Chains A and B, each alone.
Chain A
Amino acid sequence: QVTNYVMVSAKKFARENLFSLLLVQTKSKKTLAKPGVKNIVLVEGVRTPFLLSGTIYNDFMAHDLARAALLGLLNKTSLPKDAVDYIVYGTVIQEVKTSNVAREAALGAGISEKIPAHTVTMACISANQAITTAVGLIAAGQCDVVVAGGVETMSDMPIRHSRKMRKTMLTLNKAKTLSQRLTLLSKIRLGYLTPELPALTEFSTNETMGHSADRLTAAFGVSRREQDEFAFRSHSLAKKAQDAGLLSDVLSVNVPGKGIVSKDNGIRPSSMEQLEKLKPVFIKPHGTITPASSSFLTDGASAVLLMSEEKALAMGYKPKAYLRDFVFVSQDPKDQLLLGPSYATPEVLEKSGITLDDIDVFEFHEGQILANLKAMDSDWFAQTCMGRKSKVGVLPIEKLNLWGGSLSLGHPFGATGARLVTAAVNRLKKEGGQYALVAACAAGGQVVFDL
């Protein structure tokens, strides 16, 4: 049941937006540097292990996780705490006590109280929004060193009193006499005590994300088998990467009373036979999405260190990648909810003047990725829905998410964006490629990195 719930929420937060990122290593191909625009570099990226909600991070609040990622990044880069100019974090479900979670995490990490911090939200690409905000700050000459990241915990979330109960309680505050208070209290009915969970449905369409995702797979004719195979692939690749020590961005975090965690715990490589046995969770009995083909509820935080190139070099860093460009796109929240990557990918490629074939590394958020692959390969979709002359093309799956993805590593909504970016950078270095493309659905965006 926990898994079911995870998926509902996971899809919910995908919303209508999309984000993706392109990374480049300067070798033979062009650098994509833009005249007159500052070079912005990624120095390092880290993340806490991504854990199933309700497990080891059970007692953490979001700012605890965010602080762990922040401290880990500072330690890994040996960056002095006073060298940061600004901090931006993304998150989706906000803890009401720490609504500016970036600031709480920064203060807790011992970063000077003189350093400003703010929090952004944009569903599943909140961390991407944090990163592009940082890019903007550096490009505008406001800052030289910015930490951007994201955090999410689903082990705890704000469950509210019902609207009627809240109204009564607030009026109660203002009641002056005992009799006024008693009158108000006597109005409370059993129904008032029903709690209000964070919405499981899309606000504008009243549809749960799981439903929407299942409709999307059906619209693109993605079969149950294809989805099972993709889930199997994701878990197998993640396991391989974990065993080979490729997930070098994962920090070791000491959880008080529970020891040190240094591995993601949602990777469960199983067999196709086992996957085939799972029942659909959203549309019963004829749906095609199962617990395996949707990501589970996850807790985790991530962070990246971004600098202007001169600053990085002056401080003696060897930058990992350049950030060149990005786009955000939005679509109809009902029928095109999770199709962001299909829309944003061609746009950023055109903006950068390169093609799909030039890309060496693809890191896509695994939210209905198969439907997106089919959409990009369809002339009808390109012409009818995207207003393009012809299809985007076939995305080479052998370059996609080779170290696992959101299905296997997990998907802490606010933190995934920065994980995707760091994974792409690390893969580029490891595989010796030049360009990497990152895409995620929620609020479309793309960034070009050039190393």
Chain B
Amino acid sequence: YASGTLQPGVGIEPVTFLNPKAAALIAVKDDVAVIRINNPDSKVNTLSIPMQREMAEVMNEVWANGAVKSVVLISSKPGCFIAGADINMIQACRSAEEVTALSQEGQKMFEKIEKSPIPIVAAINGSCLGGGLEFALACQYRVATKSRKTVLGTPEVMLGLLPGAGGTQRLPKMVGLPSAFDVMLTGRNIRADKAKKMGLVHQLVDPLGPGLKDSDVRTVEYLEEVAVGFAKGIVNKSIPLTKRKGIMQKLQDYAMGIPFVRQQIYKTVTKRVMNQTKGLYPAPLKIIECVKAGLEKGSEAGYLEESQNFGKLAMTPESKALVGLYQGQVACKKNRFGTPEREVKNLAILGAGLMGAGIAQVTVDKGVNVILKDTATEGLSRGQDQVYKGFNAKVKKKSITSFERDTTMSCLTGQLDYSGFERVDMVIEAVFEDLSIKHKVLKEVEAVTPPHCIFATNTSGLPIKDIAAASKRPENVIGMHYFSPVDKMQLLEIITTDKTSKDTTASAVALGLKQGKIIIVVKDGPGFYTTRCLSPMLAELLRLLQEGVEPKKLDLLTTSFGLPVGAVILADEVGIDVAAHVGKTMTKAFGSRLDGGNIEVVTTMVEKGFTGRKAGKGFYIYEKGSKSRNINPAAEEILKKFKLSAPPSVSSDSDVQYRLVSRFVNEALLCLQEGILSNPMEGDIGAVFGLGFPPFLGGPFRFVDAFGADKLVQKMKKYEEVYGNQFTACQLLQDHAKDSSKKFYK
């Protein structure tokens, strides 16, 4: 496809030689070849097989041309340099060897780039992630724009993989061992200014405002001009390739030269990884292995280790689950209900509690005017402070300026009355979970809002249709179930009733997406999806406590299964009163199937004021400033009073884990069977992002696929014999158990 020969252009007018539909175009400015990457089939550049092939051809052409003295590598995509390797390319592989071969090809190509006889300057604007960053790292010089869209990082670890194209080898050399581990093990995005400090990029370029052209277009042009200047500077030696090192840097380099120090670092990092992952995630450990191999046994061994481990990891169920979650996440960030007729520009939130204020915080900085209404000044003031603190923390982290904080806060109005409600497009209520109160506010709101106004209720358990029963406009009523803390939890569960209009749903989803949420849309019913899955698990938890399993042991068993926090701590966090309330509602709706422990236990605890974390006492005692948690002896007393004997046949550690998990998973499948969920993917996303289901298992549905429905049914049968219908596998699970070819994911 490469046509024409390269000739140095005269002046700065770019001369384009190649097929304009190609993924990489070459232009020549004086003696600098500018390669513009532009994947013709996608909004972003990814390193796919054709892209790699094309890049190789282009590079060969550039190297073969004696007139070209340096190269600038830049992307034509707005807001994206190279977003990473193509996941489909890895998923298409059937064996570890195939993936290893892919990795080795990438390694080879980047080695060529690294050894290029002429300097290559990577000009980075927008996301430069994974393979994209590895590409840039192989270049001799890196210039990045300070745009907010410019992020660098190696997110592979979040997909259960590792940077497989030389990243584990180049990063430690470039930024030092501690930073390299930080970058690769967290997978976090690094902003340009931080990247410069770390030594990932050499120079920064300011984004430009509008001038004679659109600001994005001109910024990229300017980046290219500056990069061309640097490329020429490197050739004529006016720009040094290495930065003079400071004393700290020299000291660190010296320390890293001592094998003992390195060993200590590997040890510490491994320990920390084990602490955080309980050894359930293979990728971080493999990353450490690769780095170690490279530094201790030489780069050849390091690259080999990297490619082989990359291949192995790609075949692990953990990686497949994490990739599945990533794809689900992408899908749940789209609005499948279309564009709503009107955008929500004015939002009112009722109730300035943790939830209400949290919702205000994630909304008010998205260009939406927010009214935060409460019934008392104390509550209102607390809520406004919560929002302010949220933004002030961002100022301290320098992710926004104090001025941006102030202008954002100016879009938030705190009030005690309904003034201004005639302008609101949507009301989200986060008042106390009591049907009569919800009815009261619904009527009050409908009396003062315009006819198009949507009424969203943030309830965790009350059926939406019961709330909507009091409405004059039930088509405008919808459930928006946020998770606490709202600014941290990514999930939003949207609940529609039979009467909810499609436009109302579209509007709620659009707002949720604006708030940065991952959204699942489910049908109405007691507990919807998430609360319903959690409920039987908590009931079982209570029974286990009554059977005498220590809270600390239960927490250990659940975290070692992969839950981010122990189940007992989770109950304290949720609130024992909330758990009691939900438990009662759910048992009322589903009967004995949702039974477990004796509800009296929790009601007694609530009576004594042990409502959990917020009260300082639940199953544990929480003291300010103290990190260690002690068992609440009074709660222990209550448990003793309600003590049950533990049947030995179903009380091993593993049984304890599977009693909890199987009830969760069975309920999830039941939700799909009953049509509450519209697909398994949303069920997995909801369980992982809303309830902390272990991400490496990918969610309840993927868990059934991987674990085997038959095996799970067998276990449940054993429990069913002891406890009865609470462990009866649902029809869908039984179908999958009978026919092993039935899978939720192909």
Contacts and interface: CB of A to CB of B under 8 A. Distances in A.
Contact of B211 (A216, A283, A332, A334): A216
A314 interface: no
B403 interface: yes
B206 A211 contact: yes
A283 B209 contact: no
Contacts of A285: 239
A178 interface: no
Nearest to A204: B403
A119 to B, nearest CB: 26
B403 A219 contact: no
Interface of A: 203-206, 211, 214-216, 218-221, 283, 285-286, 332, 334-336, 371, 374-375, 378, 380-381, 384-385
Interface of B: 203, 205-215, 218, 222, 226, 229-230, 239, 401, 403
B184 to A, nearest CB: 31
A196 to B, nearest CB: 15
Contacts of B401: 204-206
A219 B215 contact: yes
Nearest to A284: B203
Contact of A219 (B218, B229, B230): B218
B226 A286 contact: yes
A223 to B, nearest CB: 10
Nearest to B205: A286
Contact of B209 (A204, A334, A378, A380): A334
Contact of A215 (B206, B229, B403): B206
B222 A385 contact: no
Given A215-B207, A374-B211, 10 more contacts: A203-B403, A206-B403, A211-B206, A216-B211, A219-B208, A219-B210, A219-B211, A380-B213, A384-B210, A385-B210
B229 A335 contact: no
B403 A381 contact: no
Interface centre among A211, A220, A332 (most CB of B within 10 A): A220
18 contacts: A204-B401, A205-B403, A215-B207, A215-B208, A216-B211, A218-B208, A218-B211, A218-B218, A218-B222, A219-B215, A220-B211, A220-B212, A283-B206, A286-B230, A334-B209, A336-B210, A378-B212, A380-B213
A335 B210 contact: yes
A390 B211 CA distance: 15
A219 B215 CA distance: 8
A375 B229 CA distance: 25
A204 B226 CA distance: 28
Nearest to A211: B206
Nearest to A381: B212
Nearest to A201: B401
A219 B209 contact: yes
Nearest to A385: B210
A219 B211 CA distance: 5
B209 A221 contact: no
A424 to B, nearest CB: 28
Contacts of B208: 215, 218-219, 335
Nearest to A377: B212
Given A206-B401, A206-B403, A286-B229, A374 B212 contact: yes
A343 to B, nearest CB: 13
Contacts, number: 63
B403 A216 contact: no
A interface secondary structure, majority: loop
Contacts of B212: 219-221, 374-375, 378, 380-381
Nearest to B206: A215
A117 B212 CA distance: 44
Contacts of B207: 215
Contacts of B215: 219, 335
A375 B213 CA distance: 10
Contacts of A219: 208-212, 215, 218, 222
A205 B215 CA distance: 17
A293 B344 CA distance: 48
Nearest to B221: A221
A216 B210 contact: no
B403 A336 contact: no
B243 to A, nearest CB: 13
A384 B211 CA distance: 10
Contacts of B213: 380
User: Lowest 8 A-B CB distances belong to which pairs?
Assistant: A335-B209, A219-B211, A219-B208, A220-B211, A204-B403, A286-B226, A378-B212, A215-B206
A218 B230 CA distance: 16
Contacts of B214: 384
Interface centre among B205, B210, B218 (most CB of A within 10 A): B210
Interface centre among B206, B211, B213, B230 (most CB of A within 10 A): B211
A216 B203 contact: no
A146 B214 CA distance: 46
Interface centre among A204, A211, A219, A285 (most CB of B within 10 A): A219
A286 B203 contact: yes
B205 A221 contact: no
A272 B230 CA distance: 24
Interface centre among B206, B214, B230 (most CB of A within 10 A): B206
A257 to B, nearest CB: 45
B142 to A, nearest CB: 14
Contacts of B239: 285
Interface centre among A203, A216, A374, A384 (most CB of B within 10 A): A384
Contacts of A218: 206, 208, 211, 218, 222
A106 B9 CA distance: 65
A216 B544 CA distance: 67
A206 B229 CA distance: 28
Contacts of B211: 216, 218-221, 371, 374-375, 378, 381
Contacts of A334: 209
A216 B211 CA distance: 7
A286 B239 CA distance: 11
Nearest to B402: A206
A334 B211 CA distance: 13
A206 B402 CA distance: 9
A335 B206 CA distance: 11
